[in-house]
A and B are shown apart, each in its own frame.
Chain A
Amino acid sequence: MFPSCWGGANKASIALRKLHINAEQENLLAEIVESIIPETDSPGGRTLHLHLFVLKMIDDCHSEEDQQVFVQGLKDWDQEMNDAVGKSFLLASSDQRQSYLMDIEKDKAHPLSGFFMMTKRRAIQGYLNSAYVMKNKLIYELVPGRYNGYAKV
């Protein structure tokens, strides 16, 4: 558990222009994103700061309506999950988290659907466009220097 004073003035750790997110919410988001893209033999969401990328993109690249859905989703998250699973996200096991996320993904009418889909989409974008993945996994070539229209598979 995190003490309520975690994060100094209890603000998010990055400067946000529109979103009002506190440190607990930021931490919850980090846990959700880590559950979407977990650490395995390679870094996951938290290590790659994907939750901060999600915040940055929601803050800069989404409409106010989207931002409201996002902030409300983050606020409602624990209550919704408590009602459904009887546990908060932070106390839930890894399996419980995964299955809860899958429940939301499958149910377009789920009250957390809007929040979840936005978060997931931005987390994936941040992951695939991260320096880690582009340098180590799916190598991005700035200067290919070639084109072959008949490369053998």
Chain B
Amino acid sequence: MANINIDSIKERTFDAIVIGSGISGGWAAKEFCEKGLRTLVLERGRDVKHVKDYPTTNMYPYEFEHRLEMPYEDKQKNPIANRCYAYREDSAHFFVKDDEHPYIQEKEFDWIRGYQVGGKSLLWARQVQRWSDFDFEGPARDGFAVDWPIRYRDLAPWYDHVERFIGVAGNRDGVAELPDGEFLPAYPLNAVENHFKNIVASKYDNRYVISARCAHLSQPAPIHLEQGRVQCQNRVLCQRGCPFGGYFSSNASTLPWAEKTGNMTLRPFSVVESIIYDEQKGKAVGVRVIDTNTKEVIDFYSRVIFVNASALNSNLILLNSTSSRFPNGLGNDNGLLGKYIGFHSYTAVITGEYDGELEYRTDGRNPAGGGYIPRFRNIYKQETDFLRGWAATFSASRTPSTDTSGVGVSLKDQLLHPKLGNWRVGSHMMAETIPKESNKVWLDTAEKDQWGVPLLHIDVAYDDNDWKIRTDYFEQMTAMFDAAGFQNVKTRNDDRRPGNDIHEMGGVRMGHDPQTSLLNKWNQLHTCQNVFVTDGACMTSTATQNPSLTYMALTARAVDYALMLMKKREF
């Protein structure tokens, strides 16, 4: 018997365990496996193999029963998932349904989740921008949250490392607020986007309209071909999974790369109940998993553990990892675990029309989506009555429009001969939010999910700063649209709930001081140093940038550091 147990424990022992296979977990897996570590990657959902498990990827619109519309019953049953822009008949199988994984909303919060191998990396908007020191220095300068323990120079080489591998289309724009990177050719702006760019450049000193930087292979390099990925074919059907590997996902890139090393064990259907802390050894020794098929509880062991379960689930796992040493959750001596949650405020939209550049239209589809306006408010100093600021998208399109009035032969003729009208222009706001102690998550003491894991309470809301920023966005964008000669300019509140931005961050923030933060500058728990958190949970502040690139860079950097410590036998 003893031998069997020893063998069994041996089989369940790895060098590294990565919890989660999404955008950051995939990176941890790749980096560990490449360096020869036997790595267990745990995923709570099912496996999704690149191409093979993209059932809708080559379907035409008429092959979908409801032409991509979600049925009424599904909308009634899953209001949260249905509020996500990407949840449609071609992608619904990659989203968590509301009633399968309940949570408790103290205030309205849309928690959008993708429980499968690859996580939300299959579904993301693929926009990637680097942070600058104007972002890292924000909390210290403006007196909120805590100081970031890192600066741009710490992350820059890791941004390089990640960008080269995932492939990022972009221009070297020379904008200090949005550092340049290792880019493939950008997707150029169209006629009206360029017109807007030129007007903005001529009227304002520090405002820029650039080609949106996106994780698409505009021109694959050898490293991308080696991953089995080829040039993006401008389908813009990314949420179905891409048979070309044209955009970056864990499924198309990091996970198959890790698998090729022979060092990865991928275990789907594995809900992590908690991280196991050994009181004698004074460190984490493994992870307790519930097999969702058999309901069996299985412990796995490793020298180092990376928590990449997605921001709020990483909070949940740590909160649920209690021991005599950590009665309030792993690493939670200061009681701040689960607090200072941030997100992005996407609550404003502006639209208009333009009757210039009518000799042009667009042809094909732009995977980048158009232009991007980096934050320009409060960059060098505080200059408004709100903290921080907003970035924005900007795009112009000229798709033919259809007159659907009338009936009969004339209607049919109108339908078959849509008319090219004016350009339509639009922008939506992506604003920084200020993480506050009152924006928090915690575990319910009684209610549990079907695996016996406590339900998460989410208590997150907008604040006055968010509404002031929105007012500024409307004022400034209206002025910029007017300056560009756009007509019929309309501003609109986007009443989406927090969480619907799908950029939830924080709760396990990084910082210098164990009294006021959970993680150190290497993403290690201050008080349990063989546990690293490198997904959205680690974020001290939110900036305005789409965050995934930063999670990936932080992950690669943290793995490198963990490897160094492991070589020195520190754990």
The stretch among A2-10, A72-80, A142-150 that forms the contact with chain B is A142-150
The residues of B with any CB-CB pair to A shorter than 8 Å are 58, 60-62, 65-67, 69-73, 187-191, 193-194, 233-235, 237, 358-367, 402, 404-409, 411-412, 415-416, 418, 420
Name the segment of A20-28, A32-40, A84-92, A107-115 touching the other chain. A32-40
Are B193 and A149 in contact, with the CB atoms below 8 A? yes
Rounded to whole angstroms, the CA-CA distance of A38 and B237 in the bound complex is 32
> Looking across the interface, which residue of chain B has its beta carbon closest to that of A116?
B407
Whether A138 touches B416, Cβ cut-off 8 Å, given contacts A56-B65, A105-B407, is: yes
Given B60, B402, B407, B412, which contacts A120 in the complex, CB threshold below 8 Å?
A: B407
Contact B406 A151 (CB under 8 A): no
Bound complex: CA A68 to CA B1 (Å)? 68
Q: Which of B60, B358, B407, B411 has the most CB of A within 10 A?
A: B407
**Is the CB of A16 closer than 8 A to any CB of chain B?**
no
Cα–Cα, bound, A98→B359 (Å): 38
The dominant DSSP class at the A interface is mixed
Contact A105 B233, CB 8 Å, known A61-B71, A146-B363, A153-B359: no
Return the contact of B235 from the options A102, A128, A144 (Cβ within 8 A).
A144
When chains A and B are docked, how far (Å) is the Cα of A35 from the Cα of B358?
A: 36
Partner of A63, one of B72, B188, B364: B72
Selected contact of A38 from candidates B69, B194, B235, B412, CB within 8 Å: B412
How close is B250's CB to chain A, nearest CB, in angstroms?
A: 23
Q: How far is the CB of A20 from chain B (nearest CB, A)?
A: 17
On chain B, the residues within 8 Å of A144 by CB distance are 233-235, 364-365
Once A144-B364, A145-B233 are accepted as A-B contacts, the answer to whether A37 and B415 lie under 8 Å apart by CB is yes
CA distance A25 to B513 in the complex (A): 74
Residue of B nearest to A102 (CB): B407
Number of chain A interface residues as a range = 35 or more
Partner of A60, one of B61, B72, B189, B365: B72
Interchain CB contact (< 8 A) of B190 among A35, A98, A149: A149
Q: Assuming A129-B61, A134-B60, what are 19 further A-B pairs, CB within 8 angstroms? A: A36-B408, A40-B412, A56-B66, A57-B69, A60-B71, A62-B72, A102-B406, A105-B406, A120-B407, A129-B62, A134-B61, A138-B418, A143-B233, A145-B233, A146-B234, A147-B362, A147-B363, A149-B194, A149-B362
Determine which of A35, A63, A128, A150 lies in contact with B407 in the assembled complex, contact meaning CB atoms within 8 Å: A35
CA distance A144 to B60 in the complex (A): 13
Chain A neighbourhood of B405, CB < 8 A? 105
Known A-B contacts A147-B234, A150-B360; the reply to A129 vs B72 at CB < 8 A is no
Q: Chain B: which residue is nearest A101 at the CB level?
A: B407
